[in-house]
């Protein structure tokens, strides 16, 4: 038996299921007997929650429907594998289960925390003499993985953010009174998604007036000055901020409102509240109407406006990951390689997960304007190709239809 197992981990994305589809289709093409899906990632696998994907993806239409379904089809988890030296029993349990189901290739679709899982498992396989191969497929709307030009998920989230920013700006400019709109976008340390609000710029839209990324310290008094200047010139001011903007001392702006933020399994502080704080601040400073708009989790599940480029690259990177594992490669992640910018050409490569896990790739400082409140055209050139093309949903009863695991 030559079986494959695939899992999804971390925050969902609009195209994480396209990667799953890519793994499934390529694995079957390469002669895999059973392609198992782990429910809720490695956490669910440890509870032996698995599904035979062949019983769900029964024809090509189901595979296409999977590519139009947002959020982890198999379920996800935020589970950090322990160090194998400290808790070898967890690894022994995982490998016993893998052997029980005659798994030859283990594919994990996720971000840098998930690549930490691939790193630990692939290292353990080598040190314990197992011939099971572990390869990662990249996934994160945050676009913060090292070794890859961009990540599957970013293009679709960026497309939604750019489209909604543009539609919002249309909504904002209708009145003659002074109003400040604060758009809050996901991104703890990397501002890629916030930068994507600049993709709304065009001959029919000015884009946000101010854009603040976490790559550059946020200075509240300089911000106040900028907004005050803008309010003298125009009525509706649009400010886009990353949830993770912080001051020069490293204090998150959202902590200005309340200092005791919860911490997740990986020790990351829970974000949120930045727009809310800046709304109160601006209302008090300027005495005008201020409206926060938080894209919240909508930006990671917006499959109805996903980018076809992104969908196809997610599929291809899933295919590449399982192809590598079934060809005997181990401890790698599929990467997106930009061969050419204009015309845009992207191929799929492979990189060692040791260079990827627990590393965050941020927006280059030279793509942020000198005063830290804008985005250069270099970013636009980089990001524009990633949001191109449509993968329209299958509409049933007026809304998108999804493939669901029951």
Residues that bind a copy of itself (CB under 8 A): 8, 12, 40, 43-44, 69-72, 75-78, 159, 162-164, 166-168, 170-176, 181, 199-200, 202, 204-205, 262, 276, 289, 291-294, 296-298, 300-305, 307, 384, 387-390, 392, 395-404
Least Å distance between CB 271 and a copy of itself?
11
Provide the 10 A C-beta neighbour count for residue 84: 17
Gap between the Cα atoms of 343 and 229, Å rounded: 40
Name the residue among 204, 209, 281, 217 with its Cα closest to residue 245: 217
Between 46 and 337, whose beta carbon lies closer to a copy of itself? 46
As to burial, measured by CB atoms within 10 angstroms (0-12 exposed, 13-18 middle, 19+ buried), residue 73 is buried
Least Å distance between CB 61 and a copy of itself?
14
Between 43 and 215, whose beta carbon lies closer to a copy of itself? 43
Helices assigned H by DSSP within 67-185: 88-100, 112-128, 154-172
Of the residues 113, 142, 149, 310, only one is catalytic, namely 142
Least Å distance between CB 298 and a copy of itself?
6
Between 44 and 208, whose beta carbon lies closer to a copy of itself? 44
Treating both helix axes as pointing N-terminal to C-terminal, what angle do 16-29 and 308-326 enclose, rounded to 10 degrees? 40
Instruction: Identify the bridge partners of residue 136 per DSSP, sorted by sequence position.
Output: 108, 333
Cβ distance 22 to 165 under 8 Å? Answer: no
Gap between the Cα atoms of 341 and 385, Å rounded: 8
Gap between the Cα atoms of 92 and 96, Å rounded: 6
Does the active-site annotation cover 142?
yes
Between 77 and 121, whose beta carbon lies closer to a copy of itself? 77
Least Å distance between CB 297 and a copy of itself?
5
Least Å distance between CB 60 and a copy of itself?
19
Provide the 10 A C-beta neighbour count for residue 384: 17
Least Å distance between CB 86 and a copy of itself?
23
Between 170 and 222, whose beta carbon lies closer to a copy of itself? 170
Least Å distance between CB 163 and a copy of itself?
5
Provide the 10 A C-beta neighbour count for residue 328: 10
7-21 b/e with 16+ CB inside 10 Å = b?
bbbbbbbbbbbbbbb
Cβ neighbours of residue 346 under 8 Å, at least 6 residues apart?
A: 149, 313, 336, 337, 338, 339
Gap between the Cα atoms of 256 and 274, Å rounded: 9
Between 305 and 311, whose beta carbon lies closer to a copy of itself? 305
Provide the 10 A C-beta neighbour count for residue 201: 18
Between 29 and 171, whose beta carbon lies closer to a copy of itself? 171
Q: Please identify every residue annotated as catalytic.
A: 142
């Amino acid at each position: 038996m030559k079986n494959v197992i695939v899992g999804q981990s971390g925050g969902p994305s609009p195209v994480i299921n396209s990667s799953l589809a890519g793994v499934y289709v390529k694995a079957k093409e390469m002669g895999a007997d059973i392609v198992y899906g782990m429910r809720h990632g490695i956490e669910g696998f440890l509870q032996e929650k698995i599904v035979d994907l062949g019983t769900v993806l029964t024809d090509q239409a189901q595979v296409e429907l999977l590519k139009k379904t947002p959020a982890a089809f198999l379920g996800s988890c935020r589970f950090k594998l322990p160090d194998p030296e400290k808790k070898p029993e967890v690894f022994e349990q995982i490998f016993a289960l893998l052997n029980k189901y005659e798994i030859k290739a283990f594919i994990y679709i996720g971000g840098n925390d998930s690549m930490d899982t691939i790193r630990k498992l692939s290292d353990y396989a080598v040190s314990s003499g197992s011939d099971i191969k572990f390869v990662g497929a990249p996934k994160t709307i945050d676009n913060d993985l090292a070794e890859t030009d961009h990540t599957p998920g970013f293009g679709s989230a960026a497309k939604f953010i750019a489209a909604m920013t543009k539609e919002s700006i249309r909504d904002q400019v209708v009145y003659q009174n002074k109003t400040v709109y604060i758009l809050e976008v996901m991104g703890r340390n990397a501002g890629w998604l916030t930068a994507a609000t600049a993709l709304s710029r065009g001959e029919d839209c000015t884009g946000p007036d101010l854009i603040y990324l976490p790559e550059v310290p946020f200075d509240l008094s300089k911000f106040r000055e900028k907004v005050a200047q803008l309010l003298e010139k125009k009525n509706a001011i649009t400010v886009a901020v990353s949830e993770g903007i912080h001051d020069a001392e490293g204090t998150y702006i959202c902590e200005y409102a309340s200092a005791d933020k919860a911490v997740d399994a990986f020790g990351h502080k829970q974000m949120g509240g930045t727009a809310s704080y800046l709304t109160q601040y601006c209302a008090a400073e300027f005495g005008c109407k201020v409206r926060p708009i938080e894209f919240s989790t909508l930006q990671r599940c917006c499959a109805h406006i996903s980018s076809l480029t992104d969908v196809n690259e997610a599929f291809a990177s899933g295919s590449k990951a399982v192809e590598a594992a079934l060809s005997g490669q181990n401890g790698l992640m599929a990467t997106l390689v930009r061969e050419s910018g204009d015309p845009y050409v992207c191929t799929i490569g492979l990189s060692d997960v040791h260079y990827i896990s627990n590393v965050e790739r941020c927006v280059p400082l030279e793509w942020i304007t000198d005063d830290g409140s804008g985005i250069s055209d270099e970013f636009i050139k980089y990001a524009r190709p990633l949001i191109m093309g449509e993968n329209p949903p299958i509409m049933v009863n007026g809304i998108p239809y999804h493939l669901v695991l029951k």
